[in-house]
Chain A
Amino acid sequence: MNTLKYQSQAVAKPYFIFALILFVGQILFGLIMGLQYVVGDFLAGAIPFNVARMVHTNLLIVWLLFGFMGSAYYMVPEESETELYSPKLAMILFWVFAAAGVATILGYLLVPYSTLAEITYNDLWPTMGREFLEMPTITKIGVVVVALGFLFNLGMTVLKGRKTAITMVLMTGLIGLAVFFLFAFYNPSNLALDKLFWWFVVHLWVEGVWELIMGAILAYVLIKITGVDREVIEKWLYVIIAMALISGILGTGHHFYWLTTPEYWQWIGSVFSAIEPLPFFAMVLYAFNMVNRRRREHPNKAATLWALGTAVMAFLGAGVWGFLHTLSPVNYYTHGSQITAAHGHMAFYGAYAMIVMTIISYAMPKLRGIGEANCNRAQVREMWGFWLMTVAMVFITLFLTGAGVLQVWLQRLPESGEALSFMATQDKLEIFYWLREIAGVVFLLGLIAYLTSFWVTEKEA
């Protein structure tokens, strides 16, 4: 059965499937690292912690990028009311990006990182070895090429069709994503400058332009599942992303506190990042409001659950847990502790992993020719996945927060001489790390439940 409004939307399907495959990899490596936190020499020879972490974080970034691309390919034709400019280009770029991604991950796993740097000629244009930007320079160039082709394809589609607020916001977000990535190529030998501009990629992605992408996807799904008037939803979208950028751009200052920068960043960073939770709070109000005012009963209950869930979890993870350690006098003690790790986990899951699963939940039944929604049994299984993963992530965050508070108490607050050393402190945090690992296993079970939902069918009558 063909249930797509525009046939070229079908290119989204491999993007979504590949994103979920990489997601599984991310979680498996997360579990390895979680165990290394307590059994320090577990797989230390085969997969040292630094390799596992690089794989864990890079897989996250790449699967979210696949998810965003799939979302854009799915949404833009329908919003623009025209077929995609070139489905063929979208498929070529899919294979290029997938091959580059797999090759890079294999490079991390199969050879020492310094060898990877050597064989990819990092010395010609050194960009490697910085957190989240570990990929070889050649891979970074590949990402830029893929991004350009992707933006060209979407841009041509938007230009020839209807322009909606959603496509405009989505395009600004995606263009911003590509533009800020270019700072990954700037790696001065002065560490202070290196770090300052490194945040132009990292912060302006996740606390800037990615929020536009998230907002656009959420608005699209809400229009579809609630049937609420587009004018209303798009007005909210603008208000939310306006707040996100107005707070988030100068909020970058909360990363500049300790980087040889002038004191005014302590104030600017603190004040503006204190506003950063607001757009996320507005998103919660908006998502629940729209669902309550719904004009139709959409059969895809699972997608509705994801849409509400991503708003709530993004508010908790990015908003509340971000605010927890963002004020300069607090950050002085918490910077680079397990509190940061706690925030990172819930924020990425709540805002970005869940928004991708929201659109996948909405779009997959149509992409697979099933119709508006999966059968009831499949949806129930999917919702099991939702709850197991989400509750597990809440506990991962709580345990890491517990570890972080104790770490700050033992290692950061006392004077030199009385403070416990890093490694001695880590021993005291063991119980939290064990509990976190257990919660991680539950997360994996949730992911398995979620993935198996794609194969669940209605029982034979």
Chain B
Amino acid sequence: MSESFTKGMARNIYYGGSVFFLLIFLALTFHTTKEMPKRDHRENLTEAVERGKALWEENNCIGCHTLIGEGAYFAPELGNVFDRRGGEANFKAFFSGWMKAQPLNIPGRRQMPNFHLSDEEIDDLAEFLKWTSKMDTNNWPPNIEG
């Protein structure tokens, strides 16, 4: 690097640039949180959804599955599982049956544990997954398979 470009100049770019872009980032984040109510349909966030999210977390579902693409890549995406597995008409029946059938014990197949949830808890979790599937995710995932 040229001698006329001094350490002091480099330092000022570092401090000035970082602070400048941090402020822009914070302003945009603020704006984003103001815009999100239009897209995340928080008005439908019921107590059942809230309880469902707590169950999702307390059983570490993210340790195998992805939810809107984030999590582990060991088991299917669940952000759109509501649509993939029956939707309004059939999802809850499917989901309840699925949760109770675990572990499937098929030799060699990846195995989901049984989390011993009550019927009410299974319903809460289903409500959470249903709510999640209706978020406006800019059309992600590209298809129903997630």
Contact = CB atoms under 8 A, between A and B. Distances in A.
Residue with the highest number of chain B CB atoms closer than 10 Å, among A126, A196, A246, A337: A246
Given A44-B111, A48-B111, A336-B70, 14 more contacts: A36-B110, A49-B64, A113-B58, A130-B57, A165-B11, A187-B57, A238-B10, A239-B10, A258-B69, A258-B138, A262-B31, A263-B138, A422-B76, A426-B110
The size bracket of the interface on A is 35 or more
A234 B7 contact: yes
A129 B25 contact: no
Nearest to B128: A191
Nearest to B69: A336
Contacts of B21: 245-246, 249-250
A50 B135 CA distance: 26
Contact of B77 (A126, A250, A414, A422): A422
Contacts of B110: 36-37, 40-41, 49, 423, 426
A421 interface: yes
Contact of A50 (B33, B72, B103, B131): B72
Interface string B123-146: 000000001100111101111111
A238 B18 CA distance: 11
A258 B18 contact: no
Contact of A245 (B17, B40, B71): B17
A257 interface: yes
17 contacts: A40-B111, A49-B64, A50-B72, A53-B63, A129-B62, A130-B57, A189-B50, A191-B135, A195-B68, A196-B29, A236-B1, A257-B140, A258-B68, A336-B66, A340-B73, A411-B145, A416-B145
Contacts of A263: 138
Given A165-B7, A235-B6, A259 B137 contact: yes
B60 interface: yes
Q: Closest 7 A-B residue pairs measured CB to CB?
A: A50-B63, A129-B57, A336-B69, A40-B110, A238-B10, A258-B140, A242-B14
A328 to B, nearest CB: 9
B58 A336 contact: no
Interface residues of B, number: 73
Nearest to A54: B63
B128 to A, nearest CB: 8
A145 B72 CA distance: 29
Interface of A: 33, 36-37, 39-41, 44, 48-51, 53-54, 113-114, 117-118, 122-123, 126, 128-131, 134, 165, 187, 189-193, 195-196, 231-232, 234-236, 238-239, 241-242, 245-246, 249-250, 252, 256-266, 268, 332-333, 335-338, 340-341, 411-417, 419-423, 425-426
B40 A51 contact: no
B146 A422 contact: yes
Given A51-B63, A129-B59, A249-B22, A262 B17 contact: no
B145 A261 contact: no
A258 B22 contact: no
Contacts of A131: 62-63, 70-72
Interface in B22-77: 22, 24-25, 28-29, 31-33, 35-36, 39-40, 42, 45, 49-50, 53-54, 56-64, 66-77
A266 B28 CA distance: 13
Nearest to B59: A114
Contacts of B77: 336, 422
Nearest to A334: B69
A39 B115 CA distance: 22
Given A242-B10, A252-B25, A419-B145, A235 B5 contact: yes
A370 B87 CA distance: 67
B74 A49 contact: yes
Given A40-B110, A195-B70, A420 B22 contact: no
A193 B145 contact: no
A49 B32 CA distance: 35
Residue with the highest number of chain B CB atoms closer than 10 Å, among A190, A260, A265, A426: A260
Contacts of A332: 140, 142
